[in-house]
Amino acid sequence: WSLMGSWIREHVPAGAVIASPVKEIAPFFGDRKLLEVNRAVPSPLFDMQLRDNQVEYVLTTRALNDMYSYEVTFAESRRFSFESVYKAASLRLYRVQPKPFDLPSYKSNNNSSSDSTNSRELLLQARRSLLNEQYELAIRTLTRLHTVEPSQPEPTYHLTIAYSMIGDSINASRMLQRLFTQPQSSAFVSPARLLLYAMNVLTRANSTESVQRRSSLTYEAASIYWDLGYPKRAYAFMRSALKMDSTYFVGLLWGWHYATQLGDTVQAKLYFKQLEKIDRGNAVVQQFHAMDSLTTLLRKAVSSEVRSELHLAIAQSYSIIELWEEAVDECQRALKENPFSVEAWLRIGELFDKKKKERPALFAYKRVLELDPNNVLSKSRIR
């Protein structure tokens, strides 16, 4: 801890935020801030916590024999990459870097041997299988990992997930009970329970005769999977819900959103047409229409400045319907096209203001003043 703390005091700016699953570093790193984030946090929430708290570094500790905390979330992060900057014994420090906001590729890593006994590789292989909906393969890989690391909570937790995904309530419950008995497993219990709840919701959906009730329950399960970082599974169930009831308005709204986020523009257009048939004047539907038109213009735009402005217009639509994360994503895309856009930084500050996240809002307004020292709005917001 003292070695890591010394390096941090020398190289990390005072006031910087460091995320970590443990608090032991705090007495050693001086005038920096610690954000405690448990190691089982789902990747969408991990990304949001890093961004909402303006996290600049992440400290990890050894979890399995050859694996560190957050390796799964690092691999699956949509919004950040992580550059290793220092190691001390079983501690590692990473610098947080923004990256393009696309869903990760779930294709198999050809460099990873299926015969590996390396705990890290086995877990990452299993995660790729889970995200690709290859559940039997995931169970086989996780069973091998459980043999290698029988006392660790990660294999048990992910086996609980895999069994719940195939609807095997007996084995999923058995794994959850085992998770309760393992050391340092408390962080994994809540997401495991939530995934078992989603499994039970789907069981109820399959047993009901009411089409409306079945589609509503299927939508509920899909929402849980989306929030916990299983977008393909969430989208599959959302499509299933809308096949059962094509007039389910709330489901159509989220179906459009899921399809758009996953790049399925064909299905998104079908959902949008159905939404217009049901309620063309709905405020959310109108913003969907605006975003569709802006995206069409974006595909044709050549100028970086124009593309930046179009991304900001899409961000405004997302902001109106209170999809804050997607709005910030679009502002970041605008900055990628035009790094000197005062409007983009102002919009980012306003979005974090709306989320009541003062630290990133303040950072954005200060960036505005670096680009435009006389900006009155930014000065007033900083005050």
What's the CA gap between 195 and 89, in Å, rounded?
35
Half-sphere exposure of 210 (CA within 13 A, CB side): 6
Task: Give residue 101's pLDDT.
Answer: 58
- Determine which helix (DSSP H) or strand (DSSP E) holds 271, and give its type and residue range: helix 265-279
The whole model's pTM is what? Answer: 0.89
Q: What is the pLDDT of residues 107-134, one digit of tens each?
A: 444 444 445 668 888 999 999 999 999 9
Count Cβ atoms within 10 A of the Cβ of residue 61 and give its class: 0-12 exposed, 13-18 middle, 19 or more buried.
Answer: middle
| pLDDT reported for residue 99 | 82
Question: Which uninterrupted H or E stretch holds 316?
Answer: helix 304-320
Whether the per-residue pLDDT at 10 is higher than 60: the answer is yes
Q: How far is CA 23 from the centre of its chain?
A: 23
Which residues neighbour 194 within 8 Å (Cβ) at sequence distance 6 or greater? Answer: 224, 228
Q: What percent of the chain has pLDDT over 90?
A: 88
| Per-residue model confidence (pLDDT) at position 106 | 36
Token pair belonging to 191: 């997401």
